[in-house]
Amino acid sequence: MASTSFALERAFRPKQIYEQVAERMRGDIRSGQFAPEARLPSERDLAARFGVGRPAVREALGALQNEGLVVTRRNSGTYVCADALQRLTAPAAGEMSGDADFSPTSALDVRLILEPAIARRAAAHAQRDEFAEHYLAQMDSIDDVTDAVQRALWNDSDRLFHRQLAVMTGDALLVKIADEVAKAMDQPLWKRLKDDGIHDPGRIRLYVSEHRLIYEAIVDGDADAAAFYVEQHIRRVRRDIAPK
């Protein structure tokens, strides 16, 4: 009985704005308003068309890209895939997973709650960590974020550094929770928004500095500073990947 109630509760979960935009765009592809291989309007134009902000449009495009309905070409725009109609008419196509909400903005909201607490817990141990330092060194080595290999190295090092902070707490449950957050950060939608929002060497250098502040505060045992630096960093990431 409890499982049935839980299923019903999930079935009636209100859709987020980006999910509604994605569904509207699927409908426009089905109706032919967005034809196969056609270039989609700009994010600004789509935002005006649907009466939403550009972050919602960007996340909707990422969701459609994950489904193989659109493809983004750097410095060219976003195009409807040639087989988009076939994918939409295939059984169960176009339905978004109910298992988890992988919206980057939602993931960042969760991180704002979780990661300052993790930083405080890790600071209680005040110990250096060779893996965290390895990921910091990898991030510091990036000098051309436009290079696909270096960009992939940056994304992996950033994700694993934040996961390693949980390891530094010595709490197995926090590590398990951090693993789920790391999975969300490894989603194509997250990577796409991050690549679009964090694309210049100056921004990368700033992020490296922020990561070092977090780490050194933890090593120094300064829980308040560690939590503060984590919160400020995540807020900056949210501004960068979801500009208003």
pLDDT at 95: 47
Which residues does 126 contact at the CB level (< 8 Å), separation at least 6? 218, 219, 220, 221
Residue 61 tokens read as 């495009």
Whether the pLDDT of residue 195 is over 70: the answer is no
Residue type at 119? A
Return the CATH number of 104-241, one of 1.10.10.10, 1.10.287.610, 1.20.120.530, 3.40.640.10: 1.20.120.530
Residues of the chain with pLDDT > 90, as a percent, come to 39
The domain locations on the chain are: 13-89, 104-241
Question: Within 10 Å of residue 130's Cβ, how many Cβ atoms?
Answer: 8
Confidence of residue 12 (pLDDT cuts 50, 70, 90): low
Q: Cα-flanking dihedrals φ and ψ of residue 94, to 5°?
A: 85, -5
Q: Structure pTM?
A: 0.62
Whether the pLDDT of residue 4 is over 50: the answer is no
For 80, the enclosing helix (H) or strand (E) is strand 77-80
The mean per-residue pLDDT over the stretch 39-65 comes to: 90
Of 70-79, 132-141, 168-177, the range with the lowest mean pLDDT is 70-79
The mean per-residue pLDDT over the stretch 186-212 comes to: 77
- Mean pLDDT comparison of 9-23, 161-175, 179-193, highest-scoring range: 161-175
Work out the end-to-end distance of the chain between its first and last CA atoms, rounded to an integer number of angstroms: 43
The mean per-residue pLDDT over the stretch 30-53 comes to: 90
Domain 13-89 - what CATH class? mainly alpha
Closest CA to 162 of 201, 197, 194: 194
pLDDT at 180: 84
Of 87-96, 155-164, 220-229, the range with the lowest mean pLDDT is 87-96
The whole-chain average pLDDT of the chain stands at: 83
Confidence of residue 8 (pLDDT cuts 50, 70, 90): very low
Dihedral sign computed on CA atoms, order 197, 203, 205, 208 = negative
Q: Rounded to whole angstroms, how far apart are CA atoms 77 and 61?
A: 11
